[in-house]
Each structure stands twice: as C-alpha cells, then as structure tokens.
Amino acid sequence: MAKRTIVAMPGDGIGKVVLDEAIRVLDAAGFDAEYVTGDIGWEFWCKEGNPLPDRTIELLKKHKIALFGAITSKPKDKAAAELAPELQGKGFTYYSPIVSMRQMFDLDICQRPCRTFKGNPLNFIRRGKGNTIDEPVIDTMIFRQNTEGLYGGVEWTNPPDVVYDALMTHPKFKENFAWCPRPELAVSTRIFTKKYTTRIVKAAFEYAKEKGFKTVTVCEKPNVIRETSGMMLKVAQEMSKNEYPDIRVQDVNIDAQMMWLTKNPETYNVIVAGNMFGDIVSDGFAGLVGGLGFACSANIGPEVAVFEPTHGSAPKYAEYPTSIVNPIAMVMSACMMLDHIGEGAMAERIRKAIAEVVEEGKALAYDMMKLSGSPDVVNQGAASTRQMADAIIAKLN
Ligand code: NAI
Ligand code: MG
C-alpha cells in the first residue's frame, strides 16, 4: 500500500481531541499515512479574519482526502467582538467554514450511516409482544444532498425590488403575502437542480445495489412542496424504472418519517433527502443508535472528500484536564474515509473492534452511561476519551 497524505483538520474544542484519538486508532490498525494539519475554525477567524484560510484550501486541493474534527461558530455580534483588535472594522465577515468547504469543493453527497451496535445501552428499544422488550437492529444509510435546498444561502430580509417584483408575479404570493410590509418580510429559498438531485439519488441507488437492498426511500414532502420535493421523487422513480428495475422507490413524507422511525426503523435501509430534511432525518435516526457520540458522516465531492463526526466542538468539555467525550463518532468517520479510499477491510476491522468494545461493555464513555457530562464522570466509572480509544486499539491487536 502506498503511503497516503491525509489533511487533518482538528478545528476547535473537542475536535482536536477526537481527531488525535482517531489517528491513533488508524495507526494501530496499520494505516500507513502522513497527516498534514489544515487550519480551520474559530481560532483562525479571530487571528486572521478567515476561518478557512487559503493554505487549507490548497492542502485540500492537493491531497483530496481530509479528516475533520469540529468547529465552533458564534453569532454575528460575537464574531465581530472576538476578532483581533487590529482586524476590526476592516470589512471581515464571518461565514461558516463547513458550508464554504462543501460549496467550494462541491461536496454534494453527504452520507450518514446509523447502525446499531449490539449491547449499546443507548440503543432504541420498544415494547414487543406480551411484556417483552424489543430492540430492533437498525442499519440505515442516509443520503443527504449537501449543497442546495434550504441551506443554499439564497435568502433575504426586505428583499430588493427585482426579487420582490418577481415574487409578486406568483399568484400565491400576491394572494397570501402582499399584505406584509417589505421590511417585515423574510424569504429563504429552496433551490434544487436536476444535476445535483440526480447525483444524490444515484448515490443512494448505487449503495442499495451494492448492499443488496431492494428499496430506496425518498424522504421529502412532494404533496406540498411540489416543485423541489416533486423533482427528487420523480428523478428517483425514473431512475428506478430505467436503471435499477430491482430497486423500488418508497415515498415517505419527512413528518411521517419522524413518526415511523420510532415504530419500525429497521425497515428503512436507504434514505435519500434534500439538505434540510436529510439533516433532520439523520439526526432522528442517529438518536436511535447512540446519538452524537456515534454519529459519523462523509461529505463526498467529485474530487475532494471530507469525513467528520456530526457533533460540534462541545466547548464546555474542551478544557477538561481529562477529556470525557466519546471518540467513536470520529473513529467511525475515519472508517468511512478508509472505505472511500479502498481500504474497506481495514475499516471493517476497526468497526469490528468498536463493536466488541461496545458489546463487552467494560469501557463506557459517559454518554453511554447516560451521565450528564462533568469532570467527575471518570470517578463514576466512565471511560475517558483516551481510554475508549485504547479499548478499541486493544481489540485490534
Ligand atoms: P455539540 O455537538 O458541540 O454538543 C452538544 C452536546 O452533545 C454536548 O454538550 C455534549 O453533551 C454532547 N456531545 C457532543 N459531542 C459528543 C461526543 N463526542 N461524545 C459525547 N457527547 C457529545 O453542539 P452545540 O453545543 O450545539 O455546539 C457547540 C459548538 O459546535 C457551536 O459553536 C456550534 O456552532 C458548533 N457545531 C459545529 C459542528 C461542526 O463542526 N460540524 C456541528 C454542530 C455544532
Ligand atoms: Mg445537524
């Protein structure tokens, strides 16, 4: 195996802690790589007025594969106040480096797997027949369109004339919203393009085909949001008919899906959705299999791919002398990276080690013990971040 170069972007807060542990696990699994550090996050906003410096963009262009911890974002007024004094008043504006990265590198395919680990005390349970407890095995991959839709950033408060006039040409707008004074009108658009809708739907079908699943669920709301959700459903139905005759399309509205996920989550294996509904449904499913400590993701574009846990920087835990956060989400994101670069067997080995640690139940991060986070959890028997990673490494050896 040729030595790889991976861009390691720790970001802020616990991002660095979990990324370091994931790299230790990768090393222990025998992944032969060199890591170059990509600066990203709040620290670089404050020091340089740019949370995604050009040098990081260059590293991503050059090496193409990145592991990312998490960043801190703060509201507009805090962003302005925390900027270095010499940079203040010079026209710097804060923007989310994650959203920028996704748009800049066309990281349009977001994959968020939600799989049950046997023995995880955080697994979803329901009542079975009689008075039994039933613990469904969930194996769901969510394909979320990552660059368009409601998170596309095309929005206005007090829209300019051309936008307002265009809206007024729509009978529904004229009938229902023309009464509103313009300064009190906020508009966020939901733009879907056929090209990117097709790409995310195709990714879902390809995955279903590879894994032998017979259904792709489109989780949108085409009965109400007729143009955009309607486009995704239609693209999926045509793709099924023309390219994947053995894979059926199931149309489930996002609201109904949130109800079904606590009734029969095991029946959903492949879900595809737009940006916001994909975000919502993936958090919903993640809650059934362990929540933020277990939720991993991949952001994949035509050239560059970035792998990250879905949790944030958890600033309140960042300064603990002994870190308590669960590194599993980050380690599993690293496994998704291995899958992507053709090291699936190594990824499987790490996932198996995690499964053994969870099933054995000797090393439990505080979230798995359902404790609320505090430095004291280690005295209450919780494994630290490092101990969790050590337990995984021990199973690899
Ligand atoms: P968060 O995900 O950082 O933390 C929420 C809570 O979840 C924590 O207080 C902790 O109880 C728990 N948690 C998070 N990660 C965990 C882990 N690995 N193991 C165990 N428990 C864990 O979200 P929050 O507090 O809303 O945001 C904190 C900062 O992170 C904000 O500045 C926010 O903008 C940013 N953020 C960044 C994201 C990213 O970089 N992708 C995603 C979400 C939030
Ligand atoms: Mg989210």
Q: Is the pLDDT of residue 318 over 60?
A: yes
For residues 222 and 260, membership in a common domain is answered with yes
Identify the domain boundary among 288, 321, 340.
288
In ligand 1, the atom with minimum distance to the C-alpha of 329 is 18
281 and 232 in a single domain? The answer is yes
Tell me if 186 sits within 8 A of 240, measured CB to CB: no
Looking at residue 97, its pLDDT comes to: 94
pLDDT per position as a tens digit, 85-139 = 999 999 999 989 998 999 899 999 999 999 999 999 999 999 988 889 999 999 9
Distance 310 CA to ligand 2 centre (A): 7
The pLDDT tens digits of the residues spanning 11-36 come to: 999 999 999 999 999 999 999 999 99
Q: Give the predicted TM-score (pTM) of the model.
A: 0.95
Pocket probe for ligand 1: among 76, 311, 323, 328, the residue whose CB has the most ligand atoms within 8 Å is 311
Are 237 and 260 members of one domain?
Answer: yes
169 CA from centroid of ligand 2 (Å): 35
| Per-residue model confidence (pLDDT) at position 135 | 95
Q: Containing domain of residue 170, as a range?
A: 155-188
Same domain, 206 and 319: no
Could you say which ligand is closest to the alpha carbon of residue 309? Answer: 1
Task: Give tens-digit pLDDT for 171-195.
Answer: 999 999 999 999 999 999 999 999 9
* Site residues for ligand 1, CB cut-off 6 Å: 70-73, 98, 292-293, 308, 311-316, 325-326, 329, 367, 373
Question: Higher confidence at residue 331 or residue 96?
Answer: 331
pLDDT digit string, tens, across residues 195-213: 999 999 999 999 999 999 9
Residue whose CA is closest, atom 42 of ligand 1? Answer: 312
* Ligand 1 atom 16, closest CA: 293
Count up the domains in the chain and report the number.
3
Q: Which of 169, 188, 207 marks a domain boundary?
A: 188
- Pocket-testing residue among 16, 40, 292, 323, ligand 1, by greatest number of atoms within 8 A of Cβ: 292
Mean pLDDT for 136-144 is 98
Residues lining ion ligand 2 (Cβ < 5 A) are 279
CATH number at residue 393: 3.40.718.10
**Burial level of 56, CB count in 10 A (0-12/13-18/19+)?**
buried
101, 130: one domain: no
Distance 342 CA to ligand 2 centre (A): 28
Residue 303 has pLDDT above 90, yes or no: yes
Mean pLDDT for the stretch of residues 253-272:
97
Same domain, 219 and 338: no
Asked if the model's pLDDT at residue 1 lies above 70, the reply is no
Find the 49 Cα to ligand 2 centroid distance in Å. Answer: 25
- The answer to whether residues 65 and 7 belong to one domain is yes
- How far apart CA 6 and CA 37 sit, in angstroms, is 9
- Ligand (nearest to CA of 278): 2
Atom of ligand 1 at shortest distance to CA of 373? 11
What type of residue is 119? G
CA 113, distance to chain mean position in Å, is: 9
Residue nearest to atom 23 of ligand 1 (CA): 312
For residue 43, pLDDT beyond 80: yes
Considering the domain architecture, whether residues 223 and 309 belong to the same structural domain is answered as no
Q: Which residues contact residue 247 at a Cβ distance below 8 angstroms, ignoring those fewer than 6 apart?
A: 205, 208, 209, 213, 214, 215, 216, 240
Report which bound ligand comes closest to the CA of 101: 1
C-alpha of residue 74 to centroid of ligand 2, in Å: 16
pLDDT at 256: 97
Structural domain ending residue among the three candidates 269, 288, 307: 288
117: Cβ contacts below 8 Å, ≥ 6 apart: 123, 289, 290, 294, 354, 355, 358, 359
- Phi and psi at residue 325, to the nearest 5°: -70, 155
Which residue's CA lies nearest to atom 34 of ligand 1?
Answer: 73
pLDDT averaged over the chain? 96
For residues 145 and 167, membership in a common domain is answered with no
If asked whether residues 146 and 247 sit together in one domain, one would say yes
Residue 279 Cα, ligand 2 centroid: separation in angstroms? 5
CB of 303 within 8 A of CB of 101? Answer: no
Ligand nearest to the CA of 284: 2
Interatomic CA distance for residues 137 and 338, integer angstroms: 24
Distance 351 CA to ligand 2 centre (A): 23
pLDDT band at 153 (very low <50, low <70, confident <90, very high): confident
User: 202 and 280 share a domain?
Assistant: yes
Q: What gap in Å lies between CA 145 and CA 271, rounded to an integer?
A: 11
Same domain, 137 and 93: no
